[in-house]
Amino acid sequence: MKNICILSNSIKDENLELGKKIRGDIARLAGEAGIEGINTPLLDLCDDDDIDTEGIEAIIVIGGDGSVLSAAKRTIGSGVPIIGFNLGAVGFLAEVEPADMENALKRLLEDDIKIEERMMLQGSVYREGKIVESGIALNDVVISRRGDMMLSGYSISVNGSYLSDFLADGIIISTPTGSTAYNLSAGGAIVKPDARLIQMTPVAAHLLNNRSVIFSGDDEVAVSILPKGRHPVATGVSFDGNQHVVLQEGDMVKVTASGQVTRIIRLSDDGFLQILHKKMV
């Protein structure tokens, strides 16, 4: 592997110092291995500039899980696999810890890697029957109240069939990859990340039975915003924690599996349960 783009989050990597070091390490390791023609563009993930993936074989993302999500969204459709170098807290997506970075670089140069394809979600906001906004997410689509402390009302249907109404702070619709993100904090199930399914988890629902529901990856989950009388609750939807859209009473958010996938580079020989154990102890 000779063409590796480095995307560094300058909020966590001040002045891209680690990114520069990694670029230097790649050049050194390539020289030691007799690999010529190395190309390692270094970009700031926080810039709004386009990311040119032409000819790129892999992308190193320096930051945390949020940085990997941002990189996945900004390179969607390219098919270029991503590997996260963790400067964050938990690091389910950003697998490589600082102590393991040089070994990870050696394995990238030698093509000694595994690639997992992770499903993504496509969400569309319908208002009076028309799509007014759409978004894509690797982790989750979250519909939730904004600002005040009043519960929002949500009506859930699946494939056009009514399921239930909820009074809650919000509704999380997550992928298996996103099961260890906000979904986990809200009490949802942990799912093996290469599975294909959609999980719905209410957030602080005003019900005795406050459980996640898991659907097929081929299902369509629709969340309608219920009216709240004289005091409407400000509600919105976000895709992977950004691209926030303000919702109105009567709006419907339809979520399905996307035709796009994110390709994640894995180096660890540990299974998912072993990785989960390391992250949770």
What's the CA gap between 226 and 249, in Å, rounded?
A: 6
Q: Which of 13, 65, 140, 240 is catalytic?
A: 65
Handedness of CA 124, 127, 133, 139 (dihedral sign): negative
Q: Is 269 a catalytic residue?
A: no
- Give me the phi and psi of 172, to 5 degrees please: -105, 130
- Give me the phi and psi of 16, to 5 degrees please: 55, 35
State how beta strands 252-266 and 161-168 pair.
unpaired
For tokens 């964050």, name the residue: 88
The amino acid present at 136, given as its one-letter code, is I
pLDDT in tens, the chain (281 residues): 999 999 999 999 999 999 999 999 999 999 999 999 999 999 999 998 888 999 999 999 999 999 999 999 999 999 999 999 998 776 788 889 888 999 999 999 999 999 999 999 999 999 999 999 999 999 999 999 886 667 788 999 999 999 999 889 999 999 999 999 999 999 999 999 989 999 999 998 887 667 899 999 999 999 999 987 556 678 999 999 888 899 999 999 999 999 999 999 988 766 677 677 766 66
Contacts of 125-132 spanning 24+ positions with Cβ under 8 A: 125/237, 125/245, 125/247, 125/251, 125/252, 125/253, 126/251, 126/252, 126/253, 126/254, 127/248, 127/250, 127/251, 128/250
Q: What residues contact 144, with CB distance under 8 A and at least 6 apart? A: 152, 169, 170, 171, 203, 235, 236, 237, 238
Amino acid 281: pLDDT: 63
Right CATH for 120-260 from 3.10.180.10, 3.40.309.10, 2.60.200.30, 3.40.30.10: 2.60.200.30
| Structural domain spans, the chain | 4-112, 120-260
Amino acid 34: pLDDT: 94
As a dihedral over the C-alpha atoms of residue 16, residue 17, residue 20, residue 21, rounded to 10 degrees, the angle is -150
Domains 4-112 and 120-260 share a fold: no
The amino acid present at 243, given as its one-letter code, is Q
Answer whether 78's CB lies under 8 Å from 226's CB.
no
What's the CA gap between 179 and 184, in Å, rounded?
A: 6
Right CATH for 4-112 from 3.30.70.20, 3.40.50.10330, 3.40.225.10, 3.30.365.10: 3.40.50.10330
Predicted model pTM: 0.91
